[in-house]
Structure 1
Amino acid sequence: MTFWQHLPQPDRPVPATQLAGPLRALHQLPVPPFDVRPVDTVGAIRRSIGVTTALTQDEIAYLKDRLSELTNAQHELRYVRTPGLLQGDPQHRNALHHQGAAVLCDWDTACFGQPELDLVTVEIHCRRFGYGSAHYQEFADRYGFDVTTWPGFPVLSGLRELRMITTNAKRASAGTRTLEEVRRRIQGLRSNHDELKWNIL
């Protein structure tokens, strides 16, 4: 068994800038002496689409086509960061306040792969959930790398957003707020509305 220290939390999310230090430290750790599951964004999206039942056939076809397009583009990416340990879903709600800093939590998505994926995830949360570009820029400045300036950003961002959508789509059922939001996000992708604000699910 493991023991965890309880960290009382204020009623506010951890700011993105406080994620930068812990994430950078995680990404710079040496390769562990045991196997860590590799990142599998495409596989996760494909599995989610496969068990989604509440969307229309047209919506499912669009998600499949979008995944195929991004998968092909991903093969051409040239990463610039050294592969390492990833948190997998770093964001404001997956961290805890602690003595003026942040502690990463929710490690169920931890994996081994390209740090660009973690950095893209932070940017998406800042942009899609209303924190704003300045909030993200503070994170990038403290981390020491702005993933939006990397040529592969649009592809990796597209894949990460697709995973966020399909993860919720597989849980959605008719008449629910989740399904309504998933459809709104899909329509946003179809209209290339990159600045569309998403509602938290």
Structure 2
Amino acid sequence: MTYWTYLPQPERNVSAAQIAKPLFALHSLPTPPLALPALDNLAAIRASIRRITALPEATKHFLSERADLLEQALSTVDYVLPRAVLQGDPQHRNALFNGDDTVLCDWDTVAVGQPEWDLVTLEIHCRRFGYSHAHYKQFADTYGFDVTRWSGFPVLRDIRELRMITTNARKINHAPSSAAEIDRRIAGLHCEDSSLAWNIL
């Protein structure tokens, strides 16, 4: 059993820039004295693909091939930030106001790995879900690192987006209304459309 403090929320939404401070603080912590899993987005992608039952085999094959290609590309990536504790899915819906401050919530995917993964995730949410570039830039300026200007960004971006797609694809049977959106996102992968706006699932 765990206990959490209830934080009543105002009507305004948390901005990306307000997530930057607690995320930077998390990434700056020393390694904790307990075992945390290592982040492995590709393993998560493959596990999701194996569990997808609502997509054609050809589509699943396409997703698997894309994962293979991205794994090869990942082996050439040079990280620039030190390993740290990761929130795993930092985004606007996974942060809460705590008075004048902001705190991170939803710790289902906490792990140890490269902070670049968390930063890429936040950028994806800004770009895909209707936030302006200026909104993302305020986050990057506040955090002190713009992941989009790092050479490894395209590879991590594509892997993280593939994970977001495959995670939702394995849940289609439980959320059939998401099928059309998953199809849209996969069509975007086929034409390498990194600017396609996504609908939140």
Offset from partner CA, 1:75-115 (integer Å, 9 cap, x none): 11100000010000000000111223211000010000000
Between 95-104 and 147-156, the greater mean CA deviation after superposition: 95-104
- Residue correspondence of structure 1 range 85-164 to structure 2 within 5 A: 85-164=85-164
Identity of aligned residues (%): 55
- Where does the alignment leave 5 or more consecutive residues of structure 1 unmatched? none
Report matched runs for 1:5-84 at 5 Å: 5-84=5-84
Amino acid aligned to 1:133: H
CA distance in 1, matches of 2:41, 2:110: 12
Change in Cα spacing, 1:30 to 1:65, as seen in structure 2 (3 Å) is same
Q: CA deviation at 1:174?
A: 9.3
Paired with 1:43 and 1:13, the residues of 2 have a C-alpha distance of: 33
Give the TM-score of the pair, scaled to structure 1: 0.97
Change (3 A) 1:90 1:36: same
SS at match of 2:108: helix
Give the number of aligned pairs. 201
3-state SS of paired residue (2:97):
strand
Residue in structure 2 matched with residue 200 of structure 1 by the alignment: 200
Provide the C-alpha distance between the structure 2 equivalents of 1:175 and 1:187, rounded to a whole number of angstroms: 19
Q: What RMSD in Å do the two structures reach over aligned CA positions? A: 1.3
Aligned to 1:188: 188
Counterparts in 2 of 1:174 and 1:10: CA distance versus 1, 3 Å: closer
Give the distance between the partners of 1:155 and 1:63, measured in 2 at CA. 15
Change (3 A) 1:12 1:166: farther
Structure 2 SS opposite 1:65: helix
